[in-house]
């Protein structure tokens, strides 16, 4: 369980289990579309995820869910810039 907002600047690699954020956020500042790897129905973020995005048309995955349900989201931006 996160006690503060945490930032990952490189690659977030899931190997075993869920990351529970509580009231805080996990921030992936690496804008690569492949900055999160290894997510699955047993390895995902239970809570709040923020991602930096590249300008332009790019697809991003958001491996999120609740304590018991994996509900991943994929967003395909047609244009845009940074959050």
| Tens-digit pLDDT profile for residues 4-60 | 999 999 999 999 999 999 999 999 999 999 999 999 999 999 999 999 998 888 999
**Is 49 in contact with 62 (CB distance < 8 Å)?**
yes
What H or E segment, with its residue span, contains residue 27? strand 19-28
Q: pTM for the complete prediction?
A: 0.90
H and E: helices and strands count for the chain: 0, 8
């Amino acid at each position: 369980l996160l006690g503060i907002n945490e930032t990952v600047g490189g690659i977030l690699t899931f190997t075993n289990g869920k990351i529970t954020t509580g009231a805080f956020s996990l921030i992936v500042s690496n804008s690569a579309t492949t900055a999160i790897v290894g997510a699955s129905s047993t390895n995902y973020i239970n809570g709040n995820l923020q991602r930096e995005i590249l300008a332009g048309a790019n697809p991003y995955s958001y491996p999120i869910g609740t304590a018991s349900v994996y509900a991943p989201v994929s967003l395909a931006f047609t244009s845009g810039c940074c959050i």
